[in-house]
Structure 1
Amino acid sequence: MREHLPEGGTELSPTEIEALGARWSSCWAPGEIASRLAGVATPWCVAAGWALDLFRGTQTREHGDIEIAIPAADFPEVRDRFPGYVFDGAGGGRIWEDAAPEVLAAVHQTWLRDPATGDYLVDVFREPHDGDTWICRHNEAIRLPYRAIIHRTGDGIPYLAPELVLLFKAKHAREKDRADFDATVPLLSPAQRGTLAELIARTYPGHPWLAAL
């Protein structure tokens, strides 16, 4: 997590943050995003809850939004695939509309907005990396090649490895995160379960999920 947020932007009250859910009601499905990003050179993948559903092969619950992860330096290539839309920066309870470069350097969440409706369509995580090596935002000692962390569905939609999705979910371990953990762990291979246990132990020592792994 970056420590210093830029000035400006709009600070949201708890009520306004809760109301944002309505602006995500038109968010795209993974197939729509894959179609728009077809042929890009940068590695990208669906992240968070949708990634687990792609791994499981079916949508198991409603998703309030959809996130994709990309290397931060490659954002311009992704941005250019969405002409007519704008990207807002989000972080620390603030939103910066049509975010300037200094905002993008300080926050990792970038919300694609339809200026005609105000709806948000996809959350682009601009992730730290070293060339072709992904760096975990929650533990920079965890570094893996992109070719090892991106899986694909039968029809070619890329998604983040489920053990890494669950590592991120372990930070907050909300009710929906625990439900995702319980539904996904039985489907992991022994190697994936071992990797998840190791990464959680390194990042969140003593985490209650470790007992189930």
Structure 2
Amino acid sequence: MSEQLPSGGIELSPDEIANLLARWSSCWTPTEVAQRLAGIGTPWYVAAGWALDLFRGRRTRAHGDIEIAIPAARFPEVRHLFPGYVFDAAGSGRIWENAAPEVLAATHQTWLRDPATGNYLLDVFREPHDGDTWICRRDERIRLPYSDVIHHTRDGIPYLAPELVLLFKAKHLRGKDQTDFDATVPHLTPAQRETLTELLTRVHPGHPWLEALQVGPR
């Protein structure tokens, strides 16, 4: 996707960005999302913090929103499942309401909005891919078949492999990201820890998590 964001959109002030949390208060759970996407042909998965809770088998903290990811080219398949709702594109402190195709081509984050209430219900990442091969948005050299990056809960909810979730979280290293790392690493297999170490070394050399990963499971 282009690095050049389109013109227009609504620029959000710091107060407006802070107040967005209230507009996510009605967001769906992973189970509700899976029910609404049942039978869809495109691969998809729950991402971010919710994915780690699905991996661990229980909810460990509050989540301000819910994110899923899909191959970018197949976004229309998802969009058509939600008649009566609107998809807004978001990026760099701006929102493009009911985003036009040229905006979608230059952004990767899409928020599903209920026009009746103004509330946001679902965050859809439109991710780079090559057919059935997933491409990491942070480093396009990292390419894996979707069958390797998508795991499933016992009741069939797809979620991103935890080592890949932590790779994405490593960039900003917010408080919740450190909490998620500390809570998840003890549950990773040796192979998953090794993969995360290799990916962090490639994408974020010198990252503080690398030292913690050298310590055996606690």
| TM-score greater than 0.5 by the shorter chain | yes
Corresponding residue number in structure 1 for 2:40:
40
Corresponding residue number in structure 2 for 1:86:
86
Task: Give the alignment of 1:121-136 within 5 angstroms.
Answer: 121-136=121-136
Task: Give the alignment of 1:117-156 within 5 angstroms.
Answer: 117-156=117-156
Query: 2: distance between equivalents of 1:2 and 1:177?
Result: 27
Task: Give the alignment of 1:186-201 within 5 angstroms.
Answer: 186-201=186-201
Corresponding residue number in structure 1 for 2:216:
none
The sequence identity of aligned pairs, in percent, is: 77
CA shift, 1:2, in A, is 4.1
Query: 2: distance between equivalents of 1:132 and 1:199?
Result: 21
Corresponding residue number in structure 1 for 2:55:
55
Normalised TM-score (structure 1): 0.99
| Secondary structure class of the residue paired with 1:159 | strand
User: Structure 1 segments of 4 or more deviating over 3 A?
Assistant: none
Q: Please, what is the CA RMSD of the aligned residues?
A: 0.7
Corresponding residue number in structure 1 for 2:19:
19
Kindly provide the CA deviation profile for residues 39-76 of structure 1, in whole angstroms up to 9, marking residues without a partner as x: 11100000000000000000000000000000000000
Report the count of equivalent residues. Answer: 213
Where in structure 2 are there 5+ consecutive unaligned residues?
214-218
Corresponding residue number in structure 2 for 1:8:
8
| Secondary structure class of the residue paired with 2:106 | coil
Query: 1: distance between equivalents of 2:153 and 2:2?
Result: 32
Normalised TM-score (structure 2): 0.97
Query: 1: distance between equivalents of 2:2 and 2:204?
Result: 19
Query: 2: distance between equivalents of 1:193 and 1:79?
Result: 36
Query: 2: distance between equivalents of 1:201 and 1:19?
Result: 36
| Matched residue type, 2:199 | L
CA shift, 1:122, in A, is 0.4
Where in structure 1 are there 5+ consecutive unaligned residues?
none
Corresponding residue number in structure 1 for 2:28:
28
CA shift, 1:33, in A, is 0.6
